[in-house]
Amino acid sequence: MSKPAAEEAEQESAAAQFKRGMRSLAGAVCIVTSSSNGRRHGMTATAVCSATAEPPTVLACINRATATHRAVREAGLFCINVLRHEDQALSMLFSGGPRAEERFRPGQWTTLATGAPVLVDALVSFDCRLVNSLDHGTHTIFLGEVERLQIGRKGKPLLYSDGQYAKLASPAHGEPLPEELDYWGE
């Protein structure tokens, strides 16, 4: 007989339970890049979000064991490239296997203001200067002030939810926010 879900949850470590809970979140898949000492680095990340619009600032939570983490720390710059739903192969490339320069072989890459690699066909790229960081556990929260923004042609984002890649059924769906509610709290 299978154990009740509550009993199973009790036997899980706190970290395993946390990870299982986090599977319920749907995240936009991004490639966070940096460039240090002439070498490009980049990795897939979903722990990315807006921090504030004034000044325009984003945050990314990056594992301290990654090569991209070291590059962001050294160079003080990073770029968040938001992937299209067609770009699952790029996401997989940047999350394992080949490292550093090899990951940049497919796709067209350029630079804007900081020198961090910018994916030419991203939905949007936020080219940032590192302005603050907070180490916590295995990760660092990097705060980046946006120096330049590249908004690409319209399209659907690549999503990651419940351990799988996913895409929106339609670009606009559900109800818009009531007019009196502002996402930015203004």
Interface with ligand FMN by CB under 6 A: which residues?
A: 29, 43-47, 61-63, 66-68, 95-96, 99, 160
Nearer residue to ligand FMN within complex by CB, 78 or 160: 160
Question: Min. distance of Cβ 40 from ligand FMN in angstroms?
Answer: 11
Nearer residue to ligand FMN within complex by CB, 63 or 111: 63
CB 58 within 8 A of CB 146: yes
Nearer residue to ligand FMN within complex by CB, 66 or 81: 66
Nearer residue to ligand FMN within complex by CB, 33 or 114: 33
- The token pair at 180 is 């009196």
Burial of 173 (0-12, 13-18, 19+ CB in 10 A): exposed
Provide the phi-psi class of 112: left if phi over 0, else alpha when psi is between -120 and 50, else beta.
alpha
Question: Min. distance of Cβ 24 from ligand FMN in angstroms?
Answer: 15
Nearer residue to ligand FMN within complex by CB, 11 or 164: 164
Closest residue by beta carbon to ligand FMN: 47
Question: Min. distance of Cβ 100 from ligand FMN in angstroms?
Answer: 7
Please tell me the distance from the alpha carbon of residue 134 to that of residue 142, in angstroms, as a whole number. Answer: 7
CA neighbor of 114 nearest in space, from 87, 79, 166: 79
CA distances from 177 to 18, 49, 174, 181, 184 (A): 30, 19, 10, 6, 12
Question: Min. distance of Cβ 173 from ligand FMN in angstroms?
Answer: 22
Question: Min. distance of Cβ 10 from ligand FMN in angstroms?
Answer: 28
